[in-house]
Amino acid sequence: MQSVNFRDPDFLEDHIRRILAFYHPRCVDREHGGFFQHFRDDGSVYDHATRHLVSSTRFVFNYASAATHFQNSEYRDVAEHGLSFLLEAHWQPPQQGFAWVLNNREASDEVNYCYGLAFVVLAAASAMKASVPRAFEVLELAIDVLDSRFWIDADGLYADEASVGWTTLSEYRGQNANMHGCEALIASYEATGESRYLHRALAIARRVTKDLTQQCDGFVWEHYDARWKVDWEFNRDNPKDLFRPWGIQAGHQTEWAKLLVILDRYCDEEWLLPTAQDLFDRTLRRAWDAEHGGIVYGNAPDGSVCDDDKYFWVQAETFAAAAALAVATGNDEYWDWYDRIWKYSWSHFVDHEHGAWFRILTPDNRKYDDLKSPAGKTDYHTMGACYEAIRSQTESSSSPG
């Protein structure tokens, strides 16, 4: 394998450009608005009609982040194009919610998910950083719905799912929606400088990674009941569920580690870095595949592997966390992990022919199919991880202006 300095900011910026080039401009639907969201390995679109809220928002993040980092007005215009689609198509005024799935601009699934709203907030905050018009309007709208419909003061966390028209709140509770809520609130703080966003992000992080982990040997479990007691059985028979998989998700442990390090840049809290290190260290000890390389998808509560497939986002979030921890702690062992994960990903996940990353591989690193980016995957994780690796090295101690 060609020798590559994976830590070099120039390499990371070039890699971001190469990923974005896979999508741009073929993902932009100028006729109907928004973005095409289903791509094969070669970049061909295999579904022109379906629009998923997660992809719609993540594409805004992708373009707004690129516009900000590279000072590119074309990317800013595309971010504005995507933000307009969120307001004009996904937002459903009669239901006062963002449609989960659209088909030819018509809502085909209007169930309200906190997870989806968190990404609307992240998209809007990212667009604000890029000076996209109406971004603050979308941020205020999404925050208002998120807080009025999902926040439960007594729990100090967000609920997860509500029916169309907000008539019923599901008793299911999930950490994933709260993790991405925390991510979105940090971005909102960075975009606006308003401390209320940071305070809530910190409170969520403490509840999930300090309080709830006491039920699961110090790890973050995915699923809970309405009283935030661990639900060990939820989706046990469906461990590969796209948004609610069973088990201890290695990628979510390290994603939380990354968020805790970011919070540590802004908050004087002694528990943040040690908790981040603990989550990262113990996860990699049991989730790294010593035979084939890479990080497995999930572990059972007893530590055994329950899903040994390799997912692109798990590798990306983990190298981002490794870079953040390496700089924050000064411990070069995290750089060792960073390089190891990158070398594995460079060999198996990065598509050196067409661009972007493959989505999922077998335990021995073979592709399952040629669907590189179905709904939900926009390489937001991979580009975001590269930005974080750059940021960790250049802005390890910062605050919004």
| pLDDT tens figures, 3-23 | 899 999 999 999 999 999 999
Reported as a pLDDT band with limits 50, 70 and 90, residue 398 is very low
* Structure token digits, residue 21: 């080039």
pLDDT the model gives residue 82: 98
pLDDT band at 265 (very low <50, low <70, confident <90, very high): very high
Angle subtended at Cα 121 by Cα 72 and Cα 246, rounded to the nearest 5 degrees = 115
Q: What is the mean pLDDT of residues 207-234?
A: 98
The residue among 391, 277, 385 whose CA lies nearest residue 334 is: 277
Enumerate residues 6+ apart whose C-beta is below 8 A from 243.
115, 176, 376
- Give 200-209 pLDDT, tens digit per residue: 999 999 999 9
Question: In this predicted structure, what is the pLDDT of residue 400?
Answer: 43
- Whole-model pTM: value is 0.97
pLDDT of the residue at 1: 53
Nearest-angstrom CA–CA distance, 57 and 59: 5
What's residue 3's pLDDT? 87
Instruction: Give percent of the chain with pLDDT exceeding 90.
Output: 95
pLDDT at 55 (0 to 100) = 98
Average pLDDT of span 284-296: 98
Amino acid 242: pLDDT: 76
Which DSSP string do the residues of 133-176 spell out, in sequence order? TTHHHHHHHHHHHHHHHTEETTTTEE--EE-GGG--B-S-EEHH
User: Which residue is it, tokens 């202006």?
Assistant: 401
Q: Is 352 a catalytic residue?
A: no
One DSSP character per residue, 221-283 reads -SEE-TTS-B-SSTTTT-TT-SSS-SSEEHHHHHHHHHHHHHHHHH---TTHHHHHHHHHHHH
Q: Helices marked H in 163-216 — which ranges?
A: 175-192, 195-206
Average pLDDT of span 178-193: 98
**Residue 2: what pLDDT?**
63
Identify the active-site residue in 69, 90, 252, 348: 252
Other Cβ atoms within 10 Å of 122 Cβ, number = 28
Q: Is the pLDDT of residue 401 over 80?
A: no
pLDDT band at 238 (very low <50, low <70, confident <90, very high): confident
DSSP state of 45: B
How much is the average pLDDT of 149-162?
98
pLDDT, residue 68, reads: 98
pLDDT given at position 241 = 81
Residue type, 65: S
Q: Is 252 a catalytic residue?
A: yes
Tens digit of each residue's pLDDT (9 = 90 or more) over 327-373: 999 999 999 999 999 999 999 999 999 999 999 999 999 999 999 99
CA 148 remoteness from chain centre: 23
In Å, how far are 192, 282, 333, 334 from 326, measured between CA atoms? 28, 16, 7, 5
Q: 91 - beta bridge partners?
A: 98
Return the CA Rg of the chain: 20
Whole-number Å distance between alpha carbons of 387 and 381: 10
Output the pLDDT for position 358.
98
CB 250 within 8 A of CB 298: yes
Position 96 pLDDT exceeds 70: yes
pLDDT of residue 397: 41
Residue 60: pLDDT band by 50, 70, 90 thresholds?
A: very high
Which pLDDT band holds residue 396 (cuts at 50, 70, 90)? low
Buried b (16+ CB within 10 A) or exposed e, 253-265: bbbbbbbbbbbbb
Q: Is the pLDDT of residue 115 over 70?
A: yes
Backbone angles phi, psi at 52, to 5 degrees: -100, 140
Helix, strand, coil in percent for the chain, rounding step 5: 50, 15, 35
